[in-house]
Structure 1
Amino acid sequence: MKNKDIIKGVIVGLICSIVGLVLALLFFGKGNSINDSFQIALSQGVFTKLVSMGAILNLGAFFLFLKKQQDSKAQGVLIATVIVAIITLIIRFI
């Protein structure tokens, strides 16, 4: 049961990161659409910053799970945040 809750937390964390990235592209992107903003962010080298800003939504999910005393799901969100951080580092330095 605990492993299923951790996996659910990882999935929620990754979805929150993707939604946060889309919102960051909408608010801070310089293009007319999400795709244009994505291409501009990649060409200007600010994509990793937008990914990091998108991961902020994981804070809300993490504390929501803690408040509901679903520690395993909160642990999964934390794992997802670490995965996003590692991916961001890989993109940044490659």
Structure 2
Amino acid sequence: MNKSNLFIGFLVGIAFTIGGVLLFTSIFSDYSFEKSIQNSLVNDYFGKLIAIGAILNFFPFFLYLRKKQIYHARGILLACLVIAIFIAIIKVIYN
């Protein structure tokens, strides 16, 4: 039961990060989503874009803590850790 709750929290964390990236690019970019992602890769701010998108993970994290669903909250933390490692790998590859 705890592993499935952890996995659900992980999926929620990844989904909120993707949603945050979509939301941020749709509000603050004049280009389409695909063009914005390509532009961020070329101009070396793709990691920053993902990090800004990950800010939305605060909402489900604190909601799960408030509801005492600790394993869901741990899954969101795990998703944030995986995203941070992904950003570090992207920085190493593109620099």
TM-score (norm 1): 0.93
RMSD of equivalent CA atoms: 1.0
- Quote the sequence identity (%): 38
Q: CA deviation at 1:30?
A: 4.4
Does structure 2 retain, via aligned residues, the 8 Å contact 1:65–1:74?
yes
Q: Corresponding residue for 1:15?
A: 15
Residues of 2 paired with 1:26 and 1:36: CA distance? 11
Q: Corresponding residue for 1:56?
A: 55
Q: 1:32-57: CA deviations, max 9, x gaps?
A: x1111111111111111000000001
2:68 is paired with a residue whose SS is: coil
Amino acid at match of 2:29: G
TM-score (norm 2): 0.92
Q: Which runs of 5+ in 1 are unaligned?
A: none
Q: 1:31-90: CA deviations, max 9, x gaps?
A: 2x1111111111111111000000001111110100111001000000000000000110
Q: Aligned pairs, how many?
A: 93
Q: Which runs of 5+ in 2 are unaligned?
A: none
Amino acid at match of 1:29: S
